[in-house]
């Protein structure tokens, strides 16, 4: 096998990328309107909320933990954005309110996992319920509508023909990837996730590293909430319900190992875009709505199976 191909295949996101390209080629020939620039941009725009959060959860997964509270967290942050936007207007204050709420929730997750030493799947499962309960209790079931258009800027506007959500996603991808590769914290995440005990012997603070990963999820969920509110124009009490499984699916389908230590930000976004393209393609191909979920499941299974194929090709040990 040529060295270049091998290097490419060694990248964690390689199987998902190859699968994405193949799928795009198939759709280009079969689905009318798929290559329409507006549709291509829509494919990305719709997964921006999913993708931004997946960037954060990706770091948590790399550090060997998991966060399944993000569905409810997005809902709570969106209410913060919506409520502040409704009363104060503007963009900055609502955005800060969303990020602040996310940071508090993320810190609670992080503190319970690192100081409380509770497995992260339990902490975030508990928070999934608790945060949704808080939304229902605080709002009393009221939805937020009529959000002023300046608060919705992050979801609606476009710059030089590219919509703002897509720009935000690309910028955040670059930023998180740079931090992940070049900062001490970023490298610690890989080390802690790869082998926590060894990392501790090497003098790394596993607790602090993981805590910050959970806080990052909060920050990114806050930003995602502002985009969500911008695009949807309203907030319901069930906002974000079920998103947690989609986010985890995006991260692992993209190629980040669920056991930690292996993966990349590009993988998380690849996974998110792949899910977006599948959903878009199903509608464009007029697949009856009842069968769409089955097709999505089958394609996810196919995508992750390519990872097994890649390992066979490289005769790599299972991760």
Partner 1 sequence: MSMKRGSVPLRWIAVPVVGLMLFAACGESGVGQAPESAQGGGGESRICMMPKLVGIPYFNASQKGAEEAAEELGVDLTYDGPTEAKAALQVQMIEQFIQQGCQAITVAANDPNALAPAMKKAMDADIRTGAWDADVAPDAREVFVNQATFQAIGYALVDIMAEQTGGKGEFLVVTGSLTAPNQNAWLKEMKERMADKYPDMHVASLEPGEEDLQLGIDVTTDYLRANPDTAGVFGITSVALPGAAEAVEQLGLDGKVAVTGLSTPNDNKQYIDAGVIEKFVLWNPIDLGYLAVHVANAQIEGKMPESGTFEAGRLGKVKMLAPDEVLLGPPVIFTEQNINDYNF
Partner 2 sequence: MISAAVPRRLKLSRELVLLAILVALVIALSLMSPVFLTISNFLNTSRFFVEIGLVALGMTLIIITGGIDLSVGAGLGLVSVALGFTFKAGLPLPLALFLGVGVGLAGGYFNSLFITKLDLHPLVVTLGTLALYRGLALGLSRADAVSNFPGWFAYFGQFYLGAVPGQLIVFIVAVAIVWVLLARTRYGRYVYAIGNNEQAAHFSGVPVARVKTALYVGTGLLVALAAIIYTSRVSTARADSGTGLELDVISAVVLGGASIYGGSGTIAGTVLGVVIIATLRNGLTLAAVATTYQVLILGLLLIVAVFLNEFFRKTEE
- Cα separation, 51 vs 228, whole angstroms: 12
Query: Given the rule CB under 8 A, which of 132-140, 211-219, 252-260, 263-271 is the region that contacts partner 1?
Result: 132-140
Q: Per CB under 8 A, does 307 bind partner 2?
A: yes
Q: Which of 254, 258, 265 is closest to 307 using CA atoms? A: 254
Q: In this structure, are residues 263 and 12 in contact, taking their beta carbons and an 8 Å threshold?
A: yes
Q: Between 152 and 310, name the residue whose CB sits nearer to partner 2.
A: 310
Which residue lies nearer to partner 2 by CB, 28 or 121? 121
Taking contact as CB under 8 A, which single stretch among the options 59-67, 131-139, 198-206, 215-223 is the one that binds partner 1? Answer: 131-139
Site string for partner 1, 277-306 (x = CB under 8 A): --xx--xx-x--xx----------------
Segment contacting partner 1 by CB under 8 A, of 16-24, 29-37, 214-222, 259-267: 29-37
**Do 156 and 231 form a contact (C-beta atoms < 8 A)?**
yes
| Interface mask toward partner 2 for 240-259; x: CB under 8 A | -----x--xx--xx---xxx
The contact pattern for partner 1, residues 37-56, with x = CB under 8 A and - = no contact, is: -xx--x---x--x-------
**What is the length of the chain?**
319
Contact 267, 251 (CB under 8 A): yes
- For partner 2, the binding residue among 117, 159, 161, 315 (CB under 8 A) is 117
CB neighbours of 290 closer than 8 A, spacing ≥ 6?
none
State yes or no: residue 300 binds partner 2 (CB under 8 A). yes
- Name the minimum Å distance from CB 128 to partner 2: 7
User: Which residues face 21 on adjacent strands?
Assistant: none
Q: To which residue do tokens 């009529």 refer? A: 146
Nearest of 178, 206, 211 to residue 193 by alpha carbon = 206
Q: Which of 5, 232, 247, 212 is nearest to 114 (CA)?
A: 212
Compute the chain's Rg from CA coordinates.
Answer: 20
Note the residues at the interface with partner 2 (CB under 8 A).
112, 116-119, 121-123, 125-134, 136-137, 141, 245, 248-249, 252-253, 257-259, 288-298, 300-301, 304-305, 307-308, 311, 318
């Amino acid at each position: 096998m040529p060295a270049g191909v091998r290097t490419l295949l060694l990248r964690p996101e390689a199987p998902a990328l190859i699968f994405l390209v193949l799928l795009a080629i198939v759709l280009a020939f079969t689905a009318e309107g798929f290559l329409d620039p507006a549709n291509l941009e829509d494919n990305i725009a719709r997964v921006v909320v999913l993708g931004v959060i997946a960037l954060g959860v990706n770091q948590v997964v790399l550090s060997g933990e998991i966060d399944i509270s993000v569905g409810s967290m997005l809902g709570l942050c969106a209410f913060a954005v919506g409520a502040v936007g409704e009363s104060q207007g503007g963009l900055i204050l609502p955005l800060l309110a969303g990020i602040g709420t996310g940071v508090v929730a993320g810190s609670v997750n992080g503190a319970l996992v690192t100081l409380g030493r509770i497995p992260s799947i339990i902490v975030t499962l508990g928070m999934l319920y608790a945060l949704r309960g808080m939304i229902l209790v605080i709002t009393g079931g009221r939805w937020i509508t009529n959000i002023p258009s300046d608060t919705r800027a992050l979801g609606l506007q476009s710059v030089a023909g590219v919509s703002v959500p897509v720009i935000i996603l690309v910028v955040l991808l670059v930023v998180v990837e740079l931090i992940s590769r070049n900062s001490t914290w970023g490298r610690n995440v890989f080390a802690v996730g790869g082998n926590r005990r060894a990392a501790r012997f090497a003098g790394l603070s596993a607790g602090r590293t993981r805590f910050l990963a959970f806080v990052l999820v909060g920050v990114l969920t806050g930003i995602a909430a502002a985009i969500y509110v911008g695009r949807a124009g309203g907030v319901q009490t069930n906002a974000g319900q079920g998103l947690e499984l989609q986010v985890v699916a995006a991260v692992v389908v993209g190629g980040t190992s669920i056991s930690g230590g292996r993966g990349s930000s590009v993988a998380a976004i690849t996974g998110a875009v792949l899910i977006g393209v599948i959903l878009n393609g199903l509608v464009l191909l007029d697949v009856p709505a009842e069968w769409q979920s089955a097709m999505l499941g089958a394609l996810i299974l196919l995508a992750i199976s390519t990872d097994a194929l890649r390992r066979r090709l490289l005769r790599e040990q299972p991760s």
